[in-house]
Structure 1
Amino acid sequence: MSTATDTLSPDHRAFSVSIEQPVFRMGVADGRWNLIRVEWPIALIEVSASVGTFVLRFELSGYPAQPPTAQLWDVNANMRLTDAHWPRSKGGRVGEVFRLDWNAGTALYLPCDRVTIATHPGWIAQMPAKLWRPDGSIVQYIEAVYELLHSADFTSPLVAAA
């Protein structure tokens, strides 16, 4: 018997399976994140913050063997979230990860992000526990963002979301 995932590419199939796993579904049920849509290899996932929500636009080609990369996204305008709408920091880790000066804001400065780890090979030895795990799931990345958006360092963007 054929299933809907039989016609998908291997990376798309792996992602589809991962978002059906209990750890992802529990995050949805708890209001931590929500899958908005998938247009392979792009997936939009909304992540809650202590104030508001943010949408991550994931590029997932090669998933899970290749790490994902994500940027903050404005779903209504279908473009990268404007600078004034980005999370702000009180001087800690939020500011280090949500860097407008890093890769023109098209990737988050996280050791599980494809673009960032490719340009920081030293992180492989410096922070192996935070690197992308090809045997894991998208939840690794989403949880890292969720934790930052609920940390004491997070403060609301300069401009509230519309």
Structure 2
Amino acid sequence: MTELLAVAPDERGLRAALETVRFQSGVDGGRWRLVDLDWPIGIFAVSAAARPNSPSEYGLRIDLSGYPQRPPTATPWDLGLNASLAADRRPKGPRAGHVFRTNWEHGQALYAPWDGRGLNAHSEWAQDHPADAWHAERDIAFFLGRVHELVNADDYSGI
């Protein structure tokens, strides 16, 4: 019990979210998985629809500081190289390409209302996109689910 109390509230919140049915059903369904957690950074993999010459999953390096009050910020991640995902290896398609763009924040965040940097840069997104915007009642499964939806949509074209 003392060990649990030594863990900061944001880390405790994330670790609790990783145990929820919502997160675990994504893991069990092959939609995402936790690769590594070295607080406050989590490395996750999100499965993608099969497309020619494209990966079966994409990595995300997510800064979870302040979780869930502060929105997570994800950097597209090369799981093999343990480095930022190269521009030519990022998901393409009208929506996925827009979110995984490299010409915003130097490609170090997702251009989306569920990503901390996107939401902080565009405070109007919370009101304009309430179904997609991060707020403190959201969890990591919501974040990963939005990414999973993008890379499994009909308009996702692979890399």
Under a length normalisation based on structure 1, what TM-score does the superposition of the two structures give?
0.90
2:44 corresponds to = 45
**Is 1:57 matched up with 2:61?**
yes
Instruction: Say whether 1:30 aligns with 2:32.
Output: no
The corresponding residue for 2:133 is: 131
Match of 2:144 in 1: 142
After TM superposition, the runs of 4+ consecutive aligned structure 1 residues lying more than 4 A away are: none
CA deviations 1:5-37 (Å, max 9, x no partner) are 332111001000000000000000010000011
Partners in 1 of 2:80 and 2:147 — Cα distance?
A: 21
Deviations 1:51-82 (A, max 9, x none): 21001100000000100000111123221011
Structure 2 partner of 1:17: 16
Q: What is the CA RMSD across the aligned residues, in angstroms?
A: 1.2
Q: Secondary structure in 2 aligned to 1:134?
A: coil
Gaps of 5+ in 1: 158-162
Q: Distance in 1 between matches of 2:102 and 2:122?
A: 17
Aligned twin of 2:85: 81
CA distance in 1, matches of 2:98, 2:3: 40
Query: Shift of the alpha carbon at 1:96?
Result: 1.5
2:53 aligned partner: none
Q: Distance in 2 between matches of 1:46 and 1:5?
A: 27
Tell me how many residue pairs correspond in the alignment. Answer: 154
Choose from 99, 105, 108 the match for 2:107.
105
Amino acid at match of 1:5: L
Say if 2:90 and 2:97, in contact at 8 Å, map to a contact too. no
Instruction: State the identity as a percent.
Output: 36
1:160 corresponds to which residue? none
User: Secondary structure of 1:37's match?
Assistant: strand
